Amino acid sequence: MDKSSLEARRILLIIGGGIAAYKCLDLIRRLRERGASVRAIMTGAAHEFVTPLSVSSLTGEKVFTDLFDLTDEAEMGHIELSRDADLLLVAPATADLMARMAGGLANDLATTALLATDKPVLIAPAMNVRMWEHAATQRNIATLAQDGISFVGPNEGDMACGEFGPGRMAEPMEIVGAVEAHFGEAAFAADQPLKGLKALVTSGPTHEPIDPVRYIANRSSGKQGHAIAAALATLGAETVLVAGPTATPDPAGVSVRHVETADEMLAACEAALPADIAICAAAVADWRVEASAEQKMKKKNGEDGLHLKLKQNPDILATLSALKGRKRPRLVVGFAAETEKVIEHATDKRMRKGCDWIVANDVSPATGIMGGDDNLVHIITAEGAEDWPRASKRDVARRLAHRVADHFRKGKSAT
């Protein structure tokens, strides 16, 4: 165990009112053992599960509880309290606390601090399995994730209420691991290993018009491609994202070019060159309607169906890979969504498209990957295949950005 892994890190721990609150006492001890200083805010309900005295004995600091406590305000305002930390950690994050966070409420000190902060927030949810699975909680989780909040857990297992399933708060040591990973990631990003490099990412589907109101599309959400653009930008790359029509919001710190069709996507990519890195994550439509109608097409009585003549779209990945000299990005990465013989097909695709790496995933329905938030990928390079563990699309994106940074670092040291 590295006793100083969190040296001088300031953590504001927000303790929600759940049975798992007792685990916070051990959590505080473990964080402090590693050099972190911990200040705690307790919600009103948290008092039912642990006492402020136990919490303050372990943090060695006064415990903050009441938004309207004038003594607190005289010593430290709630804005200062939330900004004077490197990380806000919410444990246990109850269904109620998560709902209030997702709604942007500020009706007690805990939620006010969370709303007033400009610091990263990590939450460890804990609740009954039915509450976790409820549509309202799932909606709140999606909102919080979109707001940039990170999660650790919950785990699956026997619950205090006698039921079984996801909802148990992560164990203190898992939370410590997530806190350490957060700071490790932050330190890596602070080094800006991709600074000075230009990156181009395609993402989302394309829409190919049939007439002015109809089009051919696919189900791509753009989540993975957008997350990759964000991760490359976090590591310092000057990033252009060429995005097809998608509901996924534009990532921060990235220049986004919105396009509709494959032709427009190719033109936007060519306009963004030169680039050092090109990652083609878009689900480009393979075909377009050869001659889309200028006016809305009308049904004709007695007509038996409609024949559309389709023409193949340009292959953006293959086009970028085939560029010559300095115009060709130094690293071109494609994606391969396969339903069988994943590695074999992806290896073959790498050769056919002429790209350097392929990120391959198994999208057969049983995996539940298509359209979901997780991904399970293999990276195919000239050296072979790397199997990566199943992770959120955001974590896959981070890991890919790290892998890209590693590639350029090694390249540099080789020259």
Tell me the residue type at 370: M
Which residues, 6 or more positions from 132, have their beta carbon under 8 angstroms from its beta carbon? Answer: 95, 125, 154, 165, 166, 167
Please say which residue, 75 or 344, places its beta carbon nearer to ligand CTP. 344
Structure token digits, residue 291? 């001659």
Tell me the residue type at 44: G
Residue 293, number of CB atoms within 10 A of its CB: 15
DSSP three-state, residue 237:
coil
Which is the catalytic residue, given 24, 161, 269, 355?
A: 161
Which residues, 6 or more positions from 168, have their beta carbon under 8 angstroms from its beta carbon? Answer: 20, 126, 153, 154, 155, 156, 157, 158, 159
Residue of 307, 333, 313 whose CA lies nearest to 321 = 333
Q: Is 355 a catalytic site residue?
A: no
Cβ(203)–Cβ(190) under 8 Å? no
Alpha helices in 169-315 (DSSP H): 172-190, 223-234, 262-272
For 231-300, list the strands marked E by DSSP. Answer: 238-243, 255-258, 277-280, 287-289
Q: For residue 39, list its beta bridge partners.
A: 12
Please, what is the minimum distance in Å from the beta carbon of residue 234 to ligand CTP? 22
Please, what is the minimum distance in Å from the beta carbon of residue 397 to ligand CTP? 15
Please say which residue, 169 or 400, places its beta carbon nearer to ligand CTP. 400
Please, what is the minimum distance in Å from the beta carbon of residue 290 to ligand CTP? 16
Tell me the residue type at 302: G
Tell me the residue type at 347: T
Q: What is the CA radius of gyration of the chain?
A: 25
Please, what is the minimum distance in Å from the beta carbon of residue 380 to ligand CTP? 12
Please, what is the minimum distance in Å from the beta carbon of residue 242 to ligand CTP? 10
Please, what is the minimum distance in Å from the beta carbon of residue 241 to ligand CTP? 13
What one-character-per-residue DSSP string does 55-110 give? Answer: HHHHHSSPEE--TT-HHHHHH--HHHHHHS-SEEEEEEE-HHHHHHHHHT--SSHH
Please say which residue, 289 or 337, places its beta carbon nearer to ligand CTP. 337
Q: What is the residue whose two structure tokens read 């060429």?
A: 242
Please say which residue, 239 or 313, places its beta carbon nearer to ligand CTP. 313
Q: Which residues bind ligand CTP (CB under 6 A)?
A: 202, 262, 280-282, 284, 286, 313, 315-317, 334-337, 349
Please, what is the minimum distance in Å from the beta carbon of residue 343 to ligand CTP? 13
CA distance 329 to 407: 14
CA distance 3 to 76: 30
Please, what is the minimum distance in Å from the beta carbon of residue 262 to ligand CTP? 5
User: Parallel, antiparallel, or unpaired: how do β-strands 357-362 and 377-381 relate?
Assistant: antiparallel
Please say which residue, 56 or 218, places its beta carbon nearer to ligand CTP. 218
Please say which residue, 65 or 202, places its beta carbon nearer to ligand CTP. 202
Please say which residue, 89 or 280, places its beta carbon nearer to ligand CTP. 280
Please say which residue, 341 or 390, places its beta carbon nearer to ligand CTP. 341
List active site positions.
161
